[in-house]
């Protein structure tokens, strides 16, 4: 089968054998934004000569801006609930294939608003077999990061943090960004940011420290960017339950190393998972839905 992780800004395709092992994979920058609605053509080009009949797609491809809008499945939800809600895409252009889309998840959070995910539920499905049945914390870094609680094979609830997007905004467009100079990664400055986030005060106040620590030479201009990165990731982790001992780090984001460092600094044991979680999740869902037995 072919697994497709099609997000806003990236597209990954995987070819798996009948036991679910990834045999080949490709990555491109043709996310749903860059695809500009040419989903059939882009998918055909990306899978090339892979002739597998079954294709399972996850991510923003199932959103209003994607190929086919899928309703959200409410938490708690595991393999069973998500697999039951897969929908087959009516794609005449792919008459020789069978294309299924994975739905996103919806969680009502403590503040009364909903949280939503598209794609991360599939990554979680890909690591479910490795999680104990008692409540586990899963962290999925990204532009809109997710912190999820998984118990008994189901996503109980999750929260989104706009960490990655705010970091890019502040670096590109704020007064703080204008003070920054590019430099080597600076683990000390990053750790200072993580520590700063744990102190009293709201993020709106802490952000100004990027300016004043630079103003009074406590940080060099090259250190402001890693400090800000640590500060924001630290603030996201402030929402982790203090009881969350170990944390499962899942995904293929370039931010994984930074989150691993921040979690360790905060005293959490970190379990790293395969960056193929997305492909494994598509396989697990196809299997649960009985799609693999169809020949």
Residue with tokens 């467009």, as numbered in its chain: 173
| Residue 239 binds a second copy, judged by CB under 8 A | yes
Least distance in angstroms from the C-beta of 237 to a second copy: 9
Q: Which of 32, 213, 277, 282 binds a second copy (CB under 8 A)?
A: 213
- By the 8 A CB rule, do 158 and 148 touch? yes
HSE-CB for 63 with a 13 A CA cutoff? 17
Applying CB under 8 A, does 207 fall inside the site for a second copy?
yes
User: For residues 60 and 30, what is the distance between their CA atoms, to the nearest angstrom?
Assistant: 12
Q: Is 10 in the site for a second copy (CB under 8 A)?
A: no
269 binds a second copy (CB under 8 A): no
Residue 175 is a binding residue for a second copy (CB under 8 A)? yes
- Give the integer Cα–Cα distance in Å for 232 and 291: 42
Applying CB under 8 A, which of residues 71, 205, 221, 272 lies at the interface with a second copy?
Answer: 205
Smallest separation (angstroms) from a second copy to the CB of 147: 8
CB-based contact 292:54 (threshold 8 Å): yes
For the chain, where are the alpha helices, taking DSSP H only?
32-35, 39-47, 79-84, 120-127, 163-173, 175-179, 187-197, 203-215, 224-237, 256-265, 277-288
Residue 33 sits in the site that holds a second copy (CB under 8 A): no
Residue 30 in contact with a second copy, rule: CB under 8 A: no
Q: Which residues bind a second copy (CB under 8 A)?
A: 109-116, 144, 159-163, 165-166, 169-170, 172-175, 196, 199-209, 212-213, 215-216, 218, 232, 235-236, 238-239
């Amino acid at each position: 089968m072919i697994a497709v992780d099609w997000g806003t800004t990236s597209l990954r395709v995987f070819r798996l054998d009948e036991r679910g092992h990834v045999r080949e994979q490709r990555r491109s920058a043709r996310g749903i934004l860059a695809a500009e609605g040419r989903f059939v053509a882009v998918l055909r080009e990306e899978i090339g000569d892979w002739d597998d009949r079954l294709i399972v797609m996850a991510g923003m491809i199932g959103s209003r801006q994607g190929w086919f809008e899928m309703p959200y499945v409410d938490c708690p939800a595991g393999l069973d609930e998500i697999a039951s809600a897969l929908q087959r895409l009516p794609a005449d252009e792919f008459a020789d294939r069978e294309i299924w889309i994975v739905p996103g998840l919806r969680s009502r959070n403590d503040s009364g608003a909903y949280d939503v995910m598209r794609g991360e539920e599939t990554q979680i499905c890909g690591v479910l077999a490795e999680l104990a049945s008692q409540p586990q914390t899963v962290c999925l870094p990204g532009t809109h990061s997710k912190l999820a609680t998984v118990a008994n094979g189901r996503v109980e609830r999750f929260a989104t943090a706009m960490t990655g997007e705010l970091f890019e905004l502040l670096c590109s467009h704020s007064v703080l960004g204008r003070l920054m100079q590019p430099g080597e990664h600076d683990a000390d400055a990053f750790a200072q940011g993580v520590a700063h986030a744990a102190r009293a005060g709201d993020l709106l106040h802490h952000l100004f420290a990027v300016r004043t620590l630079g103003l009074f030479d406590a940080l060099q201009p090259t250190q402001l960017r890693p400090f800000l990165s640590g500060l924001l990731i630290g603030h996201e982790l402030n929402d982790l339950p203090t009881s969350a001992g170990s944390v499962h780090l899942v995904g293929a984001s370039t931010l994984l190393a930074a989150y691993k460092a921040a979690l360790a600094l905060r005293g959490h044991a970190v379990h790293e998972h395969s960056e193929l979680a997305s492909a494994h999740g598509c396989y697990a869902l196809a299997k649960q839905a009985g799609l693999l037995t169809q020949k």
